[in-house]
């Protein structure tokens, strides 16, 4: 069954590598991307918002190619598509814009043909493209997702984010493509560092699942990627080391960076102190950054109605 009227999908941003959870632990965040997909006579793209300037508008577009993968998997032909996209998720900043596009494409294409593929199948397909399950898992399922990937199948556990948790992100004005930030990582690690991360990742997952916010500070540290990526983000080391003494429950590099993330208790009265500390520290290193308070997002990719039309405003076409 092909929905000739098309479908509109909303997908949350994500923070990957949550603390010690490199390539495994992600959380969906309340920043969104939208994709609308309709069968058409010839393929055409409408991209809205400066963030999407430069994204290809032909059949080389990632979203078009992934939609065709879904149709092939389901044995359905929809060769020509009208695709509209808008996004509030900044690109190449460590907030999962590529995962939102991948998940949005697969989810929209599947909905367009009556959802023959399971969510697990979409997760496998998304992870095969992104190569790690933490961003795509959070964008697809929402909440906090702990996931493993064996190269073919992705298996996940979804955790409902504790209601008291809020997130402060500092989004630097410069880009850091994930590909570049992965090249800097070592090929092997010492046993000591492996134990350091495994123990903290286990503790953090358990702490989040059971709402033990008091354990986050002890759990939210990493020796797999943050020390190697620190030189790419001036000020990061100091912010991660001192955020807890300025009111954060814990702090981490978001995804591959450059965005920095702090977990904060909702009713904390130290929010302005934390904001000022982060802004000042980045400023001392010559880094301009936009600070945003976000919510963990419980809902993953979903179909929305015409009332969500706002991002597709004619004046925003790029
Ligand atoms: N809506 C989109 N359509 C097609 N490609 C996209 C879209 N959004 C993001 N991308 C691709 O994802 C890349 C950014 O991915 P990445 O470097 O992993 O950073 P992040 O995912 O943290 O934003 C962009 O340069 C672009 O190629
Ligand atoms: N586990 C990945 C996460 C990349 O996240 P992104 O949001 O920066 O794309 C990695 O660290 O490479």
Q: Are residues 221 and 110 in the same domain?
A: no
Q: How many domains does the chain have?
A: 2
Q: Are residues 132 and 46 in the same domain?
A: yes
Band of pLDDT at residue 106, cut at 50, 70 and 90: very high
The 10s digit of each residue's pLDDT in 107-126 is: 999 999 999 999 999 999 99
The 10s digit of each residue's pLDDT in 252-277 is: 999 999 999 999 999 999 999 999 99
Q: What is the mean pLDDT of residues 125-143?
A: 97
The structure's pTM equals: 0.95
Q: Are residues 98 and 237 in the same domain?
A: no
Say what the ipTM of the complex is.
0.97
Range of the domain at 133: 7-160+297-310
- Report CA dihedral (70, 72, 77, 81) to the nearest 10 degrees: 40
Q: Are residues 155 and 14 in the same domain?
A: yes
Pocket-testing residue among 17, 31, 179, ligand 2, by greatest number of atoms within 8 A of Cβ:
17
- With respect to residue 217, please indicate whether it lies within any of the assigned structural domains: yes
- With respect to residue 318, please indicate whether it lies within any of the assigned structural domains: no
Q: Are residues 215 and 130 in the same domain?
A: no
Q: Identify the three-state secondary structure at position 211.
A: coil
Q: Are residues 76 and 171 in the same domain?
A: no
Q: Are residues 125 and 176 in the same domain?
A: no
- With respect to residue 317, please indicate whether it lies within any of the assigned structural domains: no
Q: Are residues 32 and 146 in the same domain?
A: yes
Mean pLDDT computed over every residue of the chain: 95
Q: Are residues 148 and 26 in the same domain?
A: yes
Per-residue pLDDT, 310: 62
Band of pLDDT at residue 309, cut at 50, 70 and 90: low
Ligand that comes closest to the CA of residue 35: 1
What residues are paired with 170 via a beta bridge? 260, 291
Q: Are residues 36 and 47 in the same domain?
A: yes
Pocket-testing residue among 25, 178, 223, 224, ligand 2, by greatest number of atoms within 8 A of Cβ:
178
For residue 242, CA distances in Å to 38, 69, 94, 262, 274 come to: 49, 46, 21, 11, 10
């Amino acid at each position: 069954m092909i929905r000739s009227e098309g479908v509109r999908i909303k997908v949350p941003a994500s923070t990957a590598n949550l603390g010690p959870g490199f390539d495994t632990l992600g959380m969906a965040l309340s920043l969104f991307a939208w994709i609308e997909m309709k069968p058409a006579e010839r393929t055409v793209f409408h991209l809205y918002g400066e963030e999407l300037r430069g994204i290809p508008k032909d059949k080389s577009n990632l979203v078009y190619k992934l939609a065709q993968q879904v149709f092939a998997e389901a044995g359905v032909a929809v060769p020509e598509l009208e695709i509209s996209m808008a996004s509030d998720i900044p690109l190449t900043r460590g907030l999962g814009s590529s995962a939102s596009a991948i998940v949005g494409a697969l989810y929209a294409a599947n909905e367009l043909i009556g959802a023959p593929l399971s969510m697990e199948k979409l997760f496998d397909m998304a992870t095969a493209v992104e190569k790690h399950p933490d961003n795509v898992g959070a964008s697809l399922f929402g909440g906090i997702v702990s996931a493993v990937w064996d190269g073919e199948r992705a298996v996940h556990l979804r955790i409902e984010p504790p209601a008291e948790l809020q997130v402060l992100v500092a989004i630097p004005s410069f880009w850091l493509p994930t590909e570049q930030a992965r090249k800097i990582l070592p090929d092997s690690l010492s046993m000591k560092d492996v134990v350091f991360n495994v123990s903290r990742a286990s503790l953090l997952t358990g702490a989040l699942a059971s709402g033990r916010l008091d354990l986050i500070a002890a759990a939210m540290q990493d020796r797999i990627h943050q020390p190697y990526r620190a030189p790419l983000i001036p000020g990061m080391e100091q912010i991660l080391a001192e955020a807890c003494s300025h009111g954060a429950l814990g702090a981490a590099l978001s995804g591959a960076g450059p965005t920095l993330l702090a977990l904060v208790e909702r009713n904390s009265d130290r929010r302005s102190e934390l904001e000022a500390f982060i802004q000042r520290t980045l400023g001392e290193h010559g880094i301009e950054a936009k600070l945003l308070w976000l919510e963990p997002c419980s809902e993953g990719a979903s179909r929305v109605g015409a009332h969500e039309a706002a991002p597709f405003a004619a004046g925003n076409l790029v």
